[in-house]
Amino acid sequence: MGPLSGIRIVEFAGIGPGPFAAMLLSDMGADVVRIDRKGGNNTFAIDYDILNRGRRSIELDLKSDEGRATALALVARADGLIEGFRPGVMEKIGLGPDTCLERNPRLVYGRMTGWGQEGPLSGAAGHDINYIALTGVLSAIGVVDGAPVPPLNLVGDFGGGALYLAFGLVCGLLEAKTSGRGQVVDAAIVDGAASLMAMIYGLKANGKWRDERGGNFLDGGAHFYRCYRCADGKWISVGAIEPKFYALLLERAGIDDPAFTAQLDTDAWPDFAEKLDAVFATKTREEWCTLLEGTDACFAPVLDMAEAPRHPHNAARGTFVARDGVVQPAPAPRFSRTPGRVQGPPPTPGADRDAILSDWGVTVPAE
């Protein structure tokens, strides 16, 4: 019984951030019904499509009167809705906000797009890399004199998109409890990605951040906040920003060169990093873990996705779970009284039609 138990969400099937937002709500206990396109294709094999876990599926032909009627009947009984189409698509098929809110005035209608519902680029196609490029995020990530490096699709699709959509939906649901009125949540990845950069924009305004990649204390420019290769070719990370943590890192690494006391001398950072490269290359990753892991030196080994679930800390916390033979991240965050859980595996499209219609009290004739 997660904290969103009793909340009903209608999700119009999409890709990327929309499904991830729906997964987050399902993990927290919401009853999420996914409307899949009749005859549509799954991006991944169903068993491995983790973003679709924990909900039930019904297939509808939204171009037909029967399909739209069934969708609207579900919307009428929902608390929230998620759609991730280009602006105007839902209106074109007769399921836009005006229609849905007329049928259900308390509905919180969540819209997930890259560029937003309006603006010069709102009708254009795009992907994560494009959205974070426009907001200053991508420019800040990468090595000196190299090309910007996309941080997978974590900052745009999932951070700036899905998390802000889920947050917006929950905010709207809370407000609707007081007002009795729903509203539209316009979750644009460009807006969310820009919001994630709030601290960096603040640092830049204060003269504490340079536009050049690799010249700042959080972008790999600082010798005390970067990754180093070990003797076995594996990598470690250090993030010893605070002076006392920095001093401990130097002590544990066996560095007694007095020049290193000039921690914030940016001109010396490349030289310090080169020296640390040589030091960390003298031992294996495991040897450095023995010396540094669990101390205040702000250290962690760089693990791959096979290693991460097996790490003792992650194992002790249950950070990853195995469901139907698939290792995957566990629901987050954690609640002391109403914990979230993976409600089930990714559904086979259309497999839950009868149960959904019965449970939600929908009596629209089948197609």
Q: Cite the active site residues.
A: 127, 157
* Rounded Cα distance, 229 and 22, in Å: 38
Contact 292, 313 (CB under 8 A): no
Q: Please state at what angle helix 164-179 crosses helix 189-196, rounded to 10 degrees.
A: 100
* Rounded Cα distance, 330 and 315, in Å: 11
Judging by DSSP bridges, how do beta strands 80-83 and 56-60 pair with one another? unpaired
The backbone torsions φ and ψ at residue 31, rounded to the nearest 5 degrees and listed phi first, read -90, 100
Structural tokens at position 249 = 């890192």
Range 96-102 contact pairs with CB under 8 angstroms and sequence separation of 24 or more: 97/184, 99/72, 100/72, 100/75, 101/182, 101/184
In terms of Cβ atoms closer than 10 Å to its own Cβ (0-12, 13-18, 19+), residue 133 is middle
Ramachandran category for residue 255: left, alpha or beta (phi over 0 → left; psi -120 to 50 → alpha): beta
